Amino acid sequence: MKIDVISVLPELMDSFLSHSIIKRAQQKGLLSIHTHSLRPFGLGKNNQIDDYQYGGDAGMVMMCEPMAACIEELKKERDYDEIIYLCPDGKTYNQKIANALSLKGNLLLICGHYKGIDERIREKYVTMEISIGDYVLSGGELGAAVLIDSIGRLIPGVLNDETSALSDSFQDGLLAPPVYTRPEEWEGLRVPEILLSGHHKKIEDWNYEQSVKRTQDRRPDLLK
């Protein structure tokens, strides 16, 4: 999979892309991620990329010309399955969307900034708009990082144990059951005996029951 990211401040993503699972995915050649600064496509001697809003409201808006020039330049390199704009009014991100996007080949992520991008860019280029939650960030870089991490870990071969992602919360519409590791007893609290039994069918049933109970208690909306 190849993911391109357009950003006003691409350096914000450097640390995230250089560590842990995403770093290993790139080293294995399973995931290719490239960040692109919008600034070189800016207008005039100052490489202007934003301007005041029509209508007089406060806040700057990312201009059409620089964004379009950057997108067109990247489209010369590859065809995109989705051009995704990270924005507060997009569709709320969830595991189902992550699963679907993990099956794609090429994605382009556009990170908003200031008051966002000119609406005409959304109309002409954007095929999907995603929000990572009902709150506002200073820019879309954190949202892009969330997408890359949640998508990348689903690509076969990225995780050491590919079945691990399949048992995560939300994969089956439920929250994951409680998990335990050594020691068997800690400060008077013991690991449930069923998990020590070695009886795989009973453990599987227990995990499912705990998933349902935890979902009922914490996220009953998921059961609807």
pLDDT of residue 9: 95
pLDDT of residue 173: 86
pLDDT of residue 40: 98
In a domain, 158, yes or no: no
- Express as a percent the part of the chain with pLDDT over 90: 91
Q: How sure is the predictor about 56, in pLDDT bands with cuts at 50, 70 and 90?
A: confident
Does 45 have pLDDT greater than 70?
yes
pLDDT digits (tens, 9 = 90+) for 159-168: 977 656 666 6
Longest dimension (CA), the chain: 71
Domains of the chain: total: 2
> What's the mean pLDDT when you consider all of the chain?
94
In terms of residue numbers, what domain contains 137?
2-152
Are 18 and 127 found together in one domain?
yes
pLDDT digits (tens, 9 = 90+) for 101-148: 999 999 999 999 999 999 999 999 999 999 999 999 999 999 999 999
pLDDT of residue 64: 98
Read off the CATH number of the domain in which 76 is found.
3.40.1280.10
| Cβ–Cβ under 8 Å, residues 164 and 37 | no
Alpha-carbon distance values, 203 to 126, 173, 197, 200, 218 (Å): 46, 19, 8, 5, 22
pLDDT of residue 166: 62
Are 16 and 111 found together in one domain?
yes
Taking the C-alpha atoms of residue 46 and residue 58, their distance in angstroms, rounded to an integer, is 22
Establish how many alpha carbons lie within 13 A of residue 24's alpha carbon, considering only the half-sphere containing its beta carbon.
9
Are 90 and 56 found together in one domain?
yes
Q: Mean per-residue pLDDT for 46-62?
A: 94
Last residue of a domain, one of 152, 177, 203: 152
Are 79 and 56 found together in one domain?
yes
pLDDT of residue 108: 98
User: Does the pTM of the predicted model rise above 0.85?
Assistant: yes
pLDDT of residue 48: 97
